[in-house]
Amino acid sequence: MAKKENDKSSYQPHDLVYFKTEEDNESKVIESYTFEKVDQEDKIKLANNFQPFGGNFQYSILIDNQSLAPITELKIKVKIPQFLTLSRCYPPTISIPPLIPNEDSNQLTLEFDELNEKSNKQIHIHFMPNALDRRGEIRTIVTYVNNKDTIRVLDSRPSEIIIDNITIEPKVVPSSYIRQFSQTPGIKKAIKSIGIAFNQQNDVDVYFDLLEQIFLFNNFQLVAKDIEKKILWYFGTEAITKDDILAIGQIVSNKIEIIASSLNHHFLVSFLTLFSNDFKEALLLNGIVQSKEQVYDLNCKYCGAILPYFPNQGDSIKCIMCNGEQIVW
């Protein structure tokens, strides 16, 4: 009996017990899962928002893929009124193609290869108004290919854009009111900083006189003036909305700056557009520049912050906010 037991193999099939490991279970699930079986209907969302941002406007676009499969061949087409000038996109890694002109608008098209499952893509497009008393619409159309190789279209609701004309009435306030007004709860502040391309020595006194002339021409009330530091403080009220505004003009670090504060952010954008246009016209009339292309906006092309100074032609400058290096002119 002992010999028979030794002859019997200890590894007969009926002795084997097979246990599934976690790796086996995951492998089986992956094999049975395919992107083509995922339902993407009504799970690709588009949202947009238009609002003031600093001295300009920001148009935000959000594409949200809430499905469990990617979408491909993503195209974002933005219809832009001609009274808005495109200044930059964020993230700054986005390459901005040339605008395609239409009758009353321009079209910007951004293209991306893929948007992964359970992810989103947000883009901020920044615009500068180039004129006042304008009305128009900005809208977005998105096309993409879903997991069934079918082209789908998302159409945003148009955002109405109104760039109001403004009329300033002088308002007398003491110089001590400047700090009080600047610290008002909810106050908004915006800055317009420009550099002037020139071939000879800059005449700071000429620019300072032009700033003063434009403030007076637009009916602002002088509050304070520092000739040595080249700073002007003015106050006014919008004739229709009755929004107060504190405006400061200064020449610093080889650049001209207009700093404005008000509770109404849209009013600030309109004012800076008005003042910038008037200042450029004054430069042309006085023969200081030959064209408006010689006047440069000193905003960082990466983050939009004001650059610390106006560099010489061909010199690079580093933004103190994002450290992005760039050549202005």
- Give the pLDDT score at 32: 47
Q: Is the pLDDT of residue 218 over 90?
A: yes
Question: Where are the chain's structural domains?
Answer: 44-163, 168-297
Query: What is the average per-residue pLDDT within 259-278?
Result: 96
**More confident of the two residues 43 and 93:** 43
Query: What is the average per-residue pLDDT within 152-172?
Result: 93
In the CATH scheme, what is the code of domain 44-163?
2.60.40.1530
pLDDT band with cut points at 50, 70 and 90 for residue 4: very low
Residue 145: what are its φ and ψ, rounded to 5°?
Answer: -105, 125
Measured at the alpha carbon of residue 293, what is the angle toward residues 327 and 138, in degrees to the nearest 5?
90
Q: Is the pLDDT of residue 38 over 60?
A: yes
Amino acid residing at 224: A
Q: Is 163:270 a contact under the CB 8 Å cutoff? A: yes
pLDDT band with cut points at 50, 70 and 90 for residue 18: very low
- For 168-297, the fitting CATH number among 3.90.420.10, 3.40.50.10580, 3.30.310.10, 2.40.30.10 is 3.30.310.10
The one-character DSSP state at 313 is: T
Instruction: Select from 234, 236, 215 the least CA-distant residue to 279.
Output: 215
Query: What is the average per-residue pLDDT within 256-272?
Result: 96
Q: Is the pLDDT of residue 223 over 50?
A: yes
DSSP character string of 8-54 = S-TT-GGG------HHHHHHHHHHH--GGGS--TT-EEEEEEEEEET
Give CA–CA dist 110/70, Å, rounded: 18
- Give the pLDDT score at 19: 43
Q: Is the pLDDT of residue 3 over 50?
A: no
Q: Is 298:194 a contact under the CB 8 Å cutoff? A: yes
Give CA–CA dist 245/275, Å, rounded: 13
Same fold, 44-163 and 168-297: no
Scanning the structure block, which residue is given the tokens 């000429």? 206
DSSP character string of 241-258 = T--EEEEEEEEETTEEEE
